[in-house]
Amino acid sequence: MAPIKLLSARIVLAALGLALALSAPSRAEESRVVPQSAAQIKLSFAPVVKKAAPAVVNVYAQRVERNRPRNPLFDDPIFRRFFGDRQRSGGATAQSLGSGVIVDPSGLVVTNNHVIANMTDVKVALSDRREFPAEILLRDPRSDLAILRIKAPKDATFPVLEMGDSDTLQVGDIALAIGDPFGVGQTVTQGIISALARTEIGISDYGFFIQTDAAINPGNSGGALVGIDGRLIGINSAIFSQSGGSVGIGFAIPVNMVKDVVATARAGGKEVHRPWLGASLQNLNRDIADSLGLDRPTGALVTDVDPKGPAAEGGLRQGDVITAVDGKEVYDSGSVGYRLGAKPIGGLASLSILRDGKKLVVPLKLMAAPERPPRDQLTIVGSSPFSGATVVNISPATIEEFSIAHAHEGVAVIGVADDTPASVVGVQKGDIVLSLNGEKIHNTRDLQRVAGGNPYVWKLQINRDGQVITSVIGG
């Protein structure tokens, strides 16, 4: 199976061209017209390009990886015996090249989070050759979106690409991609919307992508999908490719997901809060559908309900099958996540469900996941195998924010610093620490206390993707 490739270009000690992409918003149902003659087929897309292209920018991001002193722990002969000996190289300049879309006259730019992830210095270049530094206002790794603000004189003006409605798209609608593939210069390609609601892509938590055959290539991350009316319908993020180039299968984040991220940045928010379902879901297969008396495996099966969550409050039960959110059909658990994730906090949504063969509608309060207990985020230091790991307590909020799976007890690892004992041992982001040296870990303070010891042997128990792993280090 060909890999999914994110479209930003990453280099070290080199400069590459960068790119952007666009794909098209749909027209209203009544305005879709198939060409009636050869003359109509020869009509130009130039007016659409003229309207959209000025608001598409190139994004240059970089950081200088300064030489850092060698961690003294690696000079300890015991650690070198347990964890090996690793030397760090430094002083390189890491660069990321991608695209963005100006969506506000004040200079707000939407791009992909992976374009600017771990970067510190960002610049944008407009199609009219103006260049400006930019600040990162908001990073949203869960949707792979980020918002920049162009730093420019007060009298500077910027073209804006109006946002459309991705829910009105239909397969077969025309899509234009405008960008700078491989650094060759601004390029326009044309295709159609090939598919909607692609949820098995695996490049963000809200996998509900627009698929297009408009040629998209590396360097296009953060660009825009534009419809025949010149409105933004998606932010291009990835391609399906074995060669690294376009084979006619590209994926874009629907603009309706983008809107909430932009609104959060406009309001000064630093992180996006999305509605919490308070229930665990499972995709249906043919066997499950047959056992439930369904004629097809579509929808999301409720496998567990938090008794204190909004799903339970609204009357959702284990065994229910969610078939629609606010009247919009959902095909699997990813579809439910997207439909809720694109909604702002506050108010109510309605869930259409099947229960024992009956169709019902239950209300869902759109509230953020609570942080109970408090996350108490810590970075473990000292001489344990968890030294260098950043951990948090498990709560509905941290489960949502960090996409923590299979978490019922222990503490969650949300980051591992390079060249630390935790990274050398193989501790990974997303691991759930269950016990250390025979002591159960209930919270981050437990882990900090036990990791502060100095035994000759360390015994670790970790839940990784639902599998409990026990390791003994030392001895």
Q: Convert the pLDDT of each residue in 414-456 to its tens digit.
A: 999 998 999 998 999 999 999 999 999 999 999 999 999 888 8
Closest alpha carbon to 83 in 420, 414, 416: 420
Per-chain mean pLDDT for the chain: 83
Cα–Cα distance, 276 to 60 (Å, whole number): 35
Q: What is the pLDDT of residue 17?
A: 32
Q: At 42, is the pLDDT very low, low, confident or very high (cuts 50, 70, 90)? A: low
Residues of the chain with CATH 2.30.42.10: 279-365, 378-474
Containing 304, the helix (H) or strand (E) segment is strand 300-305
In this prediction the pTM is 0.78
Lowest-confidence pick of 32-41, 373-382, 438-447? 32-41
Q: Residue 26 pLDDT more than 90?
A: no
Q: What is the mean pLDDT of residues 344-366?
A: 93
- The residues carrying an active-site annotation are 114, 144, 221
CATH entry, 378-474, from 1.10.150.130, 2.30.42.10, 3.40.50.1390, 3.40.50.300: 2.30.42.10
Measure the CA–CA gap between 142 and 36, rounded to whole angstroms: 44
Architecture of domain 279-365: Roll (2.30)
Mean pLDDT of 217-233: 88
Task: Please answer whether residues 457 and 475 qualify as being in contact, where contact means their C-beta atoms are separated by less than 8 angstroms.
Answer: yes
Cis peptide, bond prior to residue 218, ω within 30 of zero: no
CB 343 within 8 A of CB 264: no
Predicted pLDDT of residue 87:
44
> What confidence tier does 348 reach under pLDDT thresholds 50, 70, 90?
very high
Assign 66 a pLDDT band (cuts: 50, 70, 90). low
Pick the closest to residue 216 from 146, 112, 301, 127 (CA basis): 112
Instruction: Answer yes or no: CATH 2.40.10.120 is held by domain 1-272.
Output: yes
pLDDT(374) > 70: yes
Residue 416, burial from CB neighbour count under 10 angstroms (0-12, 13-18, 19+): buried
180: pLDDT confidence band, cut at 50, 70 and 90?
Answer: confident
- pLDDT confidence of residue 89: 45
Q: Which tens digits make up the pLDDT trace of 306-335? A: 999 999 999 999 999 999 999 999 988 888
pLDDT at residue 179 greater than cutoff 90: no
Tell me whether strands 250-254 and 279-283 are parallel, antiparallel or unpaired: unpaired
CA distances (Å), origin 449, targets 85, 378, 392, 398: 27, 12, 14, 22
Locate 104 and state its tokens.
């506000």
| Token couple for 285 | 């297969």
Strand partners, 329: 324
Position 22 pLDDT exceeds 60: no
pLDDT surpasses 50 at 20: no
- How far apart CA 238 and CA 329 sit, in angstroms, is 25
Backbone φ and ψ for 40, nearest 5 degrees, come out as -70, -35
Q: Answer for the pair 112, 101: CB distance below 8 angstroms, yes or no.
A: no
CA 470 to chain centre: 31
In the chain, list all ranges with CATH 2.40.10.120: 1-272
> For the residues of 98-156, what is the DSSP string, one character each?
EEEEEEETTTEEEEEHHHHTT--EEEEE-TTS-EEEEEEEEEETTTTEEEEEE---TT-
Q: Is the pLDDT of residue 128 over 70?
A: yes
CB 349 within 8 A of CB 366: yes
- Helix 255-266 to helix 333-341 angle (10° resolution) is 40
Percent of the chain with pLDDT over 90: 48
Which positions ≥6 away from 411 have C-beta within 8 Å? 391, 392, 393, 394, 432, 433, 441, 442, 443, 444, 446, 447
